Every structure is written in structure tokens, then in C-alpha cells.
Amino acid sequence: MKVLTVEDDAIVQHVLRGILTAAGHEVLPAKDGDEALRLFQDQPVDLVISAWQLPGGLDGIALCEAMRAFRIPRYVYFILVTADSITSSSYGAAVARGVDDFLPKPLDREQIPARLLVAERIIRSFSELRQVKSLLPICMYCKKIRNDDNYWSQIEAYLAEQTGSAFSHGVCPSCYEGVVLPEIGRGGASETFPG
Amino acid sequence: MPSPASSFFSAVLVVDGNALNRRMAEQLLLQLGWRCGLVSSTEEALDWIVRDKWDAVLVELSLPDGSGIEAVSRLRRRVEEAGYPPPRLVAVADGGSARTRVVCRAAGIAAFLTRPLTLRDLEGALSPAPESEAERSGDPVLIQTLGGLRDMAGERFVLDLIAILAKEGPERLAEIGNVLATGNLPVAGRLFHKMKGSASSFGATELTRICEVGDDACAEGDEALAKECRRLAGEELGRVTAFLARWKEGNHA
């Protein structure tokens, strides 16, 4: 993953880089919120790890809000690095403003790669869901959907496979009028059992 | 078996309000081959401290007649007045917050021990060498962190970290000093907080502790303690830097 690390402390920035690089991630370092926003606009970042306190006008939470405001077509996972003195109400406020996870200081070199695995899983699920929601090839007559293997399946089978959704079959009012009632009318005549 | 170093210490004055704790300290000191005096209060200690020439004083932080830190400064004055050489001061407590440890260090207490006492801890704390074995070998958390970072990201990475610290550390301290001189405690607190974060990220526990207390002192408006923390942070950074230089040589060797 491409990880944007936002931290003005050169030592913490270096340690973060070491941990992330060793875990196979690409690191994009930024010293403050403004630089982070510039990099964020220029490059496709998957994940952001930011200090809570930052020099300049943007702190970590304001940076998260600013990034969320871009409404880009992929999910960017945002982790805030916190001090031990943070209260639970601050955590709640940070989550409400778009933060996904927190990393406590001192940075734990075992914990960070594990947290990033979770982030990767969530990002992947989001992108799969997005694929489902994006443009789907559909037959204009029978409404079957073409999947990645060039196989045409019923829309409910396709969605069940992609999203795990289950379907309860009902009848909408117009189909009831146009299809069901005529069927009942037709069936009524034949519903005579041999005596 | 007493080690060769313990022969330097002929006498240790134990100041503790609890009879059982005094006896346990005595047993350990005798095993190390040291002679000791046992007293239960500050007042008694003030009397005993000039009866003999004590090489070290082992003082409990919560004494029946006041705090151990206060007792230490009174004992030190009494020794100075008597013209005796200053004894090595060692504090003992059941636990101890970061603040207590830093305040002890600021009061000139050379070592801080938590119960249960062990022979090894006592011997290390009472050692008269300017740099004890523990100090030479470094903070175990620091050693473990450096080793872990080296195994994970390579030696070059750790050497770069040491170089960054050597450059950034003194600059940060100077900045804290300048801000404290202007009396701007909120900004000084933020700087202490930042330095605490960097110290903790490479496992320098004592420096982390001092910066944490400095941060709290700034928040509470305790300028004197904040300045003391700035001084102690300088001392500790020097120690860490010296250790890192040795670590670097050892890893290159």
C-alpha cells in the first residue's frame, strides 16, 4: 500500500518509515497538514498515518476531514497517532470526523503491520463493493448480468455471489396488475379438477 | 558473595519507617558484605547521619515524619555542616510515578529502587562508580528497541536514526530552554510532549519519563520543575547519546 505519514518529528517519521517499509509498504512522508494535502491530491494514497498535533493550521483530525471532503472514488483509511492522555470522548469525536483507527505512542513495531493488514482488508472490501455498484453489463431484454468470467447470470444470483445478499421474492404493484392477475384469470379456467 | 565493588561501601544508613523493610534491607546489605545502620524516621536519621561517616543512605520515600525527598535535603545539609563527604543517596518505594522518579533525580538522589529489593538492584544502586554497570550497559528497553528495529529494518536504518537523534536532540532541548526562558509554559509543554514522543519511539524510557513530567509541569504552571526537567533531559540525552555511540561501535565491530 502507499502510506502517507504525516509527522513533523524527524525521529518518529524515521521510525514509522522503517516499520512500514519493512512490512512492504511504500511511504510518502509529509511534515505538516498542508504538505500532506498537496501529496494527497497528487498521488493515489491508500492509507494515512497522521500525528494528532501538527504544526501549522491543520491538526490530524482537521486533515482527515479535509481529505474526506475530496470524495475520491476509493476509500482512504485514516489512522491517528495518539498520546496516552487522550480521553474516550476525544476518540469518539475523532471517529465522528472520519478517523478509522488509532495508534498509541510509543509506536509498536509489531502492532503497526497488523493494523495495516486490517486496513488493507477493509480497503479491499470497499473497492470490491464499489465494483459491484459501478457500471454493470446487463442484457437489455432478460436483464441478466455478465460477470468477470463472461457468464450471464440472473441479477439476484449475481448480487448474492458478489455481496452475499439473500432475496425474498415478492411482486411489485405493476407486475401484479400486468402479469399476476392475467395469470390468475387464465389459471382460473383450468382449475377444474377431474371429478 | 560480596562483589569486589562492594568493598568500597563500608556503611549504609537505612531510613525506613517499617521494621520489616529495615530488616530485609539489612539482610541484603549484610549478604553484600556491607555494614549498616537502621533508623525509622527523618529525625533519627538526622542524628545518625553525623554519628558516623556513611557512604550511602537508603531512604524510604514515605517516612512517618515526612517525605523522603525532604529528608534527603535535610540530611545533605547536615552532612555538609559536619564537613563529611556527601553520601550516595538511594530512594526506595513500593512503586513510583514518573514524577516521583524525576523529582528524586532532581533532588540529587542517585538511584531509585522499587520493592521488592534484590541483591543485584541494591548493588547497582549503591555502586560508587560514576557510571554503574547498568548505565554502561544501557537501558534494557532501549537495547531491545534498537535490536528490534535493526532486525526489522536493517542496521543502516538504526544508524540513520542515531544520526537524526544526535542532530535533533540538542536542537529540541535548546528550543525548550529558549521557550522556558520566555515563560511560555504552554508552548514549552508542547515541545516536551513532542520530545517525549520521539524518545519513546526508540525506547529511551528515562528521557521519555523526564519529558512527560516536564509536559505535566508546564500544564500545571510549575515553571521551576519544568526547568529542572529541561536540565535533566539534557543530562539524560547526553547519556543516551554516549550509549548509542557505544552501541554503534559494538555493532560495527
CA–CA distance, B96 with B80 (Å, rounded to integer): 28
% of chain A with per-residue pLDDT over 90: 40
Q: Which amino acid is at A172?
A: C
Cis-peptide into A173, omega within 30 deg = no
Number of domains in chain B: 2
Is residue B98 domain-shared with residue B172, that is, in the same domain?
A: no
pLDDT in tens, B228-241: 999 999 999 998 88
Question: In chain B, what residues touch A9 (CB-CB under 8 Å)?
Answer: 194, 197-198
* The A2-6 sheet, strands edge to edge: A26-30, A2-6, A47-51, A77-82, A101-104
Domain end among B134, B153, B180:
B134
Residue of A nearest to B146 (CA): A15
Go through chain B and tell me how many residues it has: 253
Residue A193 pLDDT greater than 50, yes or no: no
Q: Residue B170 has which C-alpha cell?
A: 540538542
Do the Cβ atoms of A128 and A161 come closer than 8 Å? no
Optimal mutation site among B99, B198, B212, B241, interface A, most CBs of chain A within 10 A: B198
Is residue B145 domain-shared with residue B127, that is, in the same domain?
A: no
Angle at A81 between CA B173 and CA B227, to 5 degrees: 25
Residue A192 pLDDT greater than 60, yes or no: no
Is residue B177 domain-shared with residue B235, that is, in the same domain?
A: yes
Is residue B9 domain-shared with residue B112, that is, in the same domain?
A: yes
Pairwise CB contact (< 8 Å): A9 & B157: no
Asked if the C-beta of B153 comes within 8 angstroms of chain A's C-beta atoms, the answer is: yes
Taking residue A43's Cβ as centre, other Cβ atoms within 10 Å add up to: 11
Is residue B11 domain-shared with residue B127, that is, in the same domain?
A: yes
Domain harbouring B215, CATH code: 1.20.120.160
Taking residue B46's Cβ as centre, other Cβ atoms within 10 Å add up to: 17
Pairwise CB contact (< 8 Å): B168 & A18: no
Is residue B106 domain-shared with residue B219, that is, in the same domain?
A: no
Question: In chain B, what residues touch A114 (CB-CB under 8 Å)?
Answer: none
Return averaged pLDDT per consecutive 10 residues of chain B, 253 residues in all: 48 93 92 91 93 90 82 91 91 86 88 89 77 58 87 89 90 95 94 90 89 94 94 92 84 56
Pairwise CB contact (< 8 Å): A106 & B190: no
Which of B152, B160, B200 has its CB closest to that of A14? B160
What's the helix, strand, coil split of chain A in %, to 5? 45, 15, 40
Handedness of CA A104, A108, A114, A120 (dihedral sign): positive
Mean pLDDT rounded to a whole number for chain B: 86
Structural domain spans, chain A? 2-133, 145-190
SS3 state at B159 = helix
Is residue B85 domain-shared with residue B25, that is, in the same domain?
A: yes
Confidence at residue B138, expressed as pLDDT on a 0 to 100 scale: 66
Is residue B19 domain-shared with residue B32, that is, in the same domain?
A: yes
Domain harbouring B99, CATH code: 3.40.50.2300
Confidence at residue B6, expressed as pLDDT on a 0 to 100 scale: 44
CATH class of A2-133: alpha beta
Owner of C-alpha cell 525506547: B203
Go through chain A and tell me how many residues it has: 195
Is residue B128 domain-shared with residue B77, that is, in the same domain?
A: yes
Q: Is B5 exposed, middle or buried (0-12, 13-18, 19+ CB in 10 A)?
A: middle
Which of B148, B152, B201 has its CB closest to that of A12? B201
Is residue B38 domain-shared with residue B117, that is, in the same domain?
A: yes
ipTM of this predicted complex?
0.70
Is residue B170 domain-shared with residue B67, that is, in the same domain?
A: no
Angle at B52 between CA B47 and CA B58, to 5 degrees: 75
Is residue B159 domain-shared with residue B101, that is, in the same domain?
A: no
**Angle, helix A60-68 to helix A33-42, in steps of 10 degrees:** 30
Domain end among B100, B117, B134:
B134
Domain with B223, as residue range(s), is 138-252
